Amino acid sequence: MSYLGIDIGGTEVKGILCDASGTVHAGTRRPTNIQSGKEGIISVTREVILTLSEGGARVEAIGIGTAGRINAKTGDVVYATDNLPGWMGINIPAELKMSAPVFVDNDANAALLGEHWLGAAKGRDSAVMLTLGTGVGGANLVNGAIVQGATWNGGEWGHVILVPGGHLCNCGNRGCMEQYLSGAALTRMARETVSPAISHGRDIWPLYASSDPDAVKAVDTYLQRLSIVIYNIHTGINPACIVIGGGVIESKDAFWEALQQKISAFGVSVPVVPALLGNRAGCFGAARMAINGRAAAPFL
């Protein structure tokens, strides 16, 4: 039995062909063709699906994780930003016109499902994931299932307000967590606090390791805010584990111990663990959606 897991992001469309145990038999990726709007993104996604199917495997179902707020029962894109132009309002299964059933969910939900299946949250019946990348993604899993929410907005931790009246967010509110904990936010803080010449947030870590006072101050603020968020998640949901993923986690050796100390100071008693599947978590989770066939009914 073969399943496809597809991850549609603003930069790339990635996909894997795997079996029900999660063994990958093929993988591919293409730049997301956003210049041509919806048609371009759909056409690249179809190309990825067709490439993965070229070996002649009979595909039982296709799972798709995509940026945006998704009605997981119907595959409708309830909300999407201009990162995927023309995406809002479409029905993804209807646009793709595949012969196998297609299941769709938000990309952060797919990533947590992947980590729950094969990664850092394996064996836990509840988990919350934060993805600290270009933005901040989030997802909640309770009793082994993703909690999409009544209006498909569940797990949007990136837009929980952390600093009232703070930086303007692309969602229209001010002070969202994303404006303080994303990789882009770390870069901004490094420029403001350490040096305007800093080109990427990761450049702050060697300075932090050498106890540069400005870098220590910036990282301390960043980790303190992250700890507050983790404490709030622990208090509000009390999941069996909290998984931290995204590009920032690639530098975890530089800050993980300091983060754990701050979390302990807040009395968080559940494990806070780094994601294990990297940028393939979304593909694995999408494949898992296909395997579960968990939407109300398959759409052809």
Chain residues that interact with Zn ion, rule: CB under 5 A: 159, 169, 171, 173, 176
3-state SS, residue 293: coil
- The two three-digit tokens of residue 224, written as one number: 């303190």
Q: Give the SS3 label for residue 14.
A: strand
Q: How far is the CB of 285 from Zn ion (least distance, A)?
A: 23
Quote the CA–CA distance of 16 and 56 in Å, as a whole number.
Answer: 14
Q: Which is nearer to Zn ion, 158 or 285 (CB)?
A: 158
- Residue 105 CA to residue 289 CA, distance in Å, equals 8
Complex with Zn ion: residue 88 or 240, whichever CB lies closer = 88
Closest CA to 280 of 269, 270, 288: 288
Q: Which is nearer to Zn ion, 132 or 176 (CB)?
A: 176
Q: Are strands 76-79 and 145-146 parallel, antiparallel or unpaired?
A: unpaired
Nearer to Zn ion, 11 or 170 (CB): 170
Q: Which of 29, 26, 38 is nearest to 2 (CA)?
A: 26
Residue 250 tokens read as 């690639």
CA distance 281 to 129: 11
CB of 135 to Zn ion, least distance (A): 9
Q: Which is nearer to Zn ion, 62 or 136 (CB)?
A: 136
Cβ at position 177, least distance to Zn ion in Å: 8
Q: Of the two residues 26 and 171, which places its CB atom closer to Zn ion in the complex? A: 171
* 252-265 vs 213-236: helix crossing angle, rounded to 10: 50
Which of helix, strand or coil describes residue 294? coil
300 within 8 A of 99, measured Cβ to Cβ: yes
CB contact set of 151 (below 8 Å; sequence gap of 6+) = 69, 78
Please, what is the minimum distance in Å from the beta carbon of residue 226 to Zn ion?
16
In angstroms, give the least distance from the CB of 69 to Zn ion: 13
Give the nearest distance from C-beta 3 to Zn ion in angstroms: 33
Q: Which lies closer to Zn ion via its Cβ, residue 161 or residue 209?
A: 161
Closest CB 185 distance from Zn ion, rounded Å: 12
Compute the distance between CA of residue 255 and CA of residue 110 in angstroms, rounded to an integer.
Answer: 26
> Under DSSP, is residue 191 helix (H, G, I), strand (E, B) or coil?
helix
- Min dist CB 174 to Zn ion, Å, is 8
Largest CA distance in the chain: 59
Q: Which is nearer to Zn ion, 43 or 173 (CB)?
A: 173
Give Cβ neighbours of residue 190 (< 8 Å, ≥ 6 apart): 198, 201, 203, 204, 215, 218
